[in-house]
Amino acid sequence: MTGPVVILGPQRPAPNLPEVLAAHGISGPVAVITAGWRHDEDELDALRRDLPKNRLVHLPIYAWFDEVHAEEPVLAAAYAARQKRIRQYKAAYRAQLQSALDAVSATQALIERDPSLFLPELHFLLTSLRAIDDRTVQRVNEIRDEFPATAQPWAYPAARDRHARIQDAFAHCSAVLIAGGHVGVLRNRMYFFGLDALLRGYVEGGGCVVAWSAGAMSLADRVLLYYDDPPDGRGEAEVLDSGLRLTPGAIWLPHATHRLRVVDPERMARMSARLRPELAITLENGAWVEHVNGAWTSRGRPEAARLVGALGQVRPLEPGEVLELPPPRTAPDTVRVVTP
Amino acid sequence: MKTVVDLSRAIAADHGAAVALLRAFVADRAFPILEGDTATFFFWDGKPTESVHLVHWVFGLESHQAFERIPGTDAFWLAIELPHASRVEYKFKLTRGARSGWVRDPLNPHKAYDPFGSNSVCPMPGYEAPRWVEPEEGCRPGRLESFEVHSAVWGDARTVQVYLPSEHRPNKAYPLLICHDGSDYLRFTALKTVLDNLIGRHEVIPIIVAMVDGGRRNEEFGAHPNHPTWIVDELLPAIERRYKVLPGPQNRGIMGASFGGVASLWTAWSRPGVFGRLLLESGSFAFTDVGRHDRGALWDPVVGFVNELRREPQRLGGRDLRVYMSCGQFESLIYYNRSLQPLLRAADLDVRYTEVPDGHNWICWRDRLREALTWLFPGYLWMIYE
């Protein structure tokens, strides 16, 4: 029987993590991953205050990553070269994205004139947009394959011990907590230490994973970056990379109220269409969506978790509402929401 | 009653009801009356008044324009066209008997403050005060502290106010921004709140801001030969002894408005390679192509510096230097700023230039801070989801 995977919104100003752990009967030690906080990853005072009854077993993978790099120069050089190549490639992705988004905007502006003429064009362009996003995930993986020395960092002597310490922590902890922060750093550090497989094994063994904000984003099939009103540029969302694939079918969007124009249905519809078949779910402080016994259920504060609909409408998930997440990408789009 | 013209007609038709009509008129709407691109200024306080003039600082627009009296009353009005999204600070000049003086528009609650007092504000349709100038939920406040630096070059002790971001820890190094007229920036642009918000939103990387004021401000900031010595040889080491600051010009910025902009550019030009980030708001970059300037002796060193800079802009340091420049279209300085920015670009500096329909005032400088700081010290806003 698999354990629960719990997705939470931002923990400020009012954390609901204590309530979540209590609800799942987790009173023992918990493993904590805070690599998204980067150089601040060991500042656990706030977590300790929130969880006074749980012993925190910190897994400082942000620092470990630097230590391993210092001890394994061959790995470090290959990893740096790989990341540089990925960054260089991203210029091509952004150029493709920009052209496609310009075409989508131009076509959206035409639809009112003659929907029957232009809607098929819009659908075609949105399909192209999805193909561009799919391709970036594929290309980044291909670039990684060009660097076999970086395929299993934990196989290097300097990382082996730390990898074992993660496994040991998982064996003794009743939950793994993954905090938010810098989603790129968090995602990369977790992959570096093989946490995609370790977390999957942990959940399959009945363990509970609780992740919030960037932690939640990194568990999805792919990581989407978004900020609709940046001080510079147009603020078009872009796919960063694949995620850890622990919550297939959902893309989690924390801080949506601040980061997205959720009141702009045209923009949100475009995002929804672009992300299909995944379902876009926004998360604010108090959100709590969990996968238990094969079903995704919203249990948090009303309005804190919302579903982005196909037409761009953003609808709150009711407490107790069961979400049917779509099947893997290869299957047809069959997004449904079931209200008990 | 929709307009002043309607009001005038109504008063003309029933003179005995003038006071009641005026009372109803002023109680019924916001002033100035804004319709499309026209702002109608209105004055009536029930007291005998000879004349009313509009006092403003919009370069190119006739100043001291006379209001028109509504016949048989002490009410006056003036309609002028202003650009969309513009913002004009103004006062009324009232003449009553032998006395005349400037007052704020008594019917307009919108005020803007500066070191000389306050003005009334006419924000035209399209202008909106930015959200990030007010404290935002979730953005943790940084703190201000101050210390004194003895300056040998000025022969006195100077107070430096320092903004430390909320996450500041003594053992961690941060980029540094030196701000001229720091006290005024804090008071009139809400600089601390702006920094709290932009850093809290991750739009700006956490930075330390050291704020200084001039002793004899205009003289010192006006391309004075001692100023770079004070900033680079005295202030900078004092800051670096007290706080951990990231090395390299890309982590060091200097900023200011008006003469503070001159002081910033003058320092960067005099000591190339020290500062890699410049924030210059409405810089008083007066120059001459031929003959003498007519701005007074205070400007001699400024004009001399800018003339020299125009001959040798590459001395600033080229591509590694990122410069944000802004200027209000209603300032006489717009000509100089417009002229300077392509010159700096041609010298291969990384320049961003913005001009807006506003004047030489602190709100205009406040409103540019997001664009400026996010470009000079960009945060990881696309990446951080806490």
Please name each of the domains of chain B with its CATH number: 4-123 (2.60.40.10), 136-376 (3.40.50.1820)
Residues 6+ apart with CB under 8 A from B240: none
Q: Chain B residue closest to A185 (CA)?
A: B383
Structural domains in chain A (count): 2
If asked whether residues A38 and A186 sit together in one domain, one would say yes
Shortest Cα distance, chain B CAs vs residue A210, angstroms: 15
pLDDT digits (tens, 9 = 90+) for A266-311: 899 999 999 999 999 999 999 999 999 889 999 999 999 999 999 9
Q: What is the pLDDT of residue A326?
A: 86
Nearest to A184 by CA among A149, A145, A233, A223: A223
If asked whether residues A23 and A83 sit together in one domain, one would say no
If asked whether residues A227 and A312 sit together in one domain, one would say yes
- Whether residues B383 and A185 touch (CB distance < 8 A) is answered with yes
Write the CATH number for A297.
Answer: 3.40.50.880
pLDDT digits (tens, 9 = 90+) for B315-361: 998 778 999 999 999 999 999 999 999 999 999 999 999 999 999 99
Q: Which residues of chain B have pLDDT under 50?
A: none
Contact B51, B77 (CB under 8 A): no
Last residue of a domain, one of A150, A184, A216: A150
If asked whether residues A208 and A103 sit together in one domain, one would say no
Size of interface A-B (CB pairs under 8 A): 51
pLDDT category at A340 given cuts 50, 70, 90 is very low
Last residue of a domain, one of A123, A150, A177: A150
- Whether residues A230 and B138 touch (CB distance < 8 A) is answered with no
- pLDDT of A332 over the 70 cut: no
If asked whether residues A162 and A177 sit together in one domain, one would say yes
- pLDDT of A331 over the 60 cut: no
Print burial letters for B304-343: b (CB count within 10 Å at least 16), e (below 16).
ebbeebbeebeebbeebbbbbbbbbbbbebbebbeebbee
**Residues across chain A:** 340
Q: Name every chain B residue with its beta carbon within 8 A of the beta carbon of A255.
A: 385-386
If asked whether residues A204 and A61 sit together in one domain, one would say yes
Residue A61's domain spans which residues?
Answer: 5-67+156-338
- pLDDT of A206 over the 50 cut: yes
- pLDDT of A328 over the 80 cut: no
If asked whether residues A187 and A308 sit together in one domain, one would say yes
Contact A223, A192 (CB under 8 A): no
If asked whether residues A61 and A18 sit together in one domain, one would say yes
Q: Chain B residue closest to A235 (CA)?
A: B382
pLDDT digits (tens, 9 = 90+) for A10-59: 998 899 999 999 999 999 999 999 999 998 899 999 999 999 999 999 99
The torsion angles phi and psi of B20, rounded to 5 degrees, stand at -65, -40
Q: Name every chain A residue with its beta carbon within 8 A of the beta carbon of B370.
A: 231
Last residue of a domain, one of A150, A174, A196: A150
If asked whether residues A133 and A249 sit together in one domain, one would say no
Q: For chain A, give the percent of residues with pLDDT over 90.
A: 91
Contact B85, B124 (CB under 8 A): yes
Q: Chain B residue closest to A12 (CA)?
A: B138
Q: What is the pLDDT of residue A15?
A: 97
Establish if A255 touches chain B: CB-CB under 8 angstroms.
Answer: yes
pLDDT category at A330 given cuts 50, 70, 90 is low
Q: What is the mean pLDDT of chain A?
A: 93
Q: What is the pLDDT of residue B318?
A: 77
ipTM of the complex: 0.94
If asked whether residues A142 and A262 sit together in one domain, one would say no
> Tokens standing for B144?
């201000």
Q: What is the pLDDT of residue A338?
A: 31
Q: Taking the CA atoms of A15, A17, A22 and A24 in sequence, report the sign of the dihedral they define.
A: positive
Q: What is the pLDDT of residue A336?
A: 32
Q: What is the pLDDT of residue A329?
A: 62
Shortest Cα distance, chain B CAs vs residue A184, angstroms: 6
Q: What is the pLDDT of residue B242?
A: 98
> Tokens standing for B12?
């003309």
Q: What is the pLDDT of residue A189?
A: 98
Establish if A213 touches chain B: CB-CB under 8 angstroms.
Answer: yes
Q: Name every chain A residue with its beta carbon within 8 A of the beta carbon of B385.
A: 10, 180-181, 183, 213-214, 217, 254-255
- pLDDT of A132 over the 90 cut: yes
Q: Give the B window 229-288 contacts with A, CB below 8 Å.
A: none
Q: Among A186, A255, A281, pick the best mutation site for testing chain B contact (most B Cβ within 10 A).
A: A255
If asked whether residues A184 and A142 sit together in one domain, one would say no
If asked whether residues A332 and A189 sit together in one domain, one would say yes
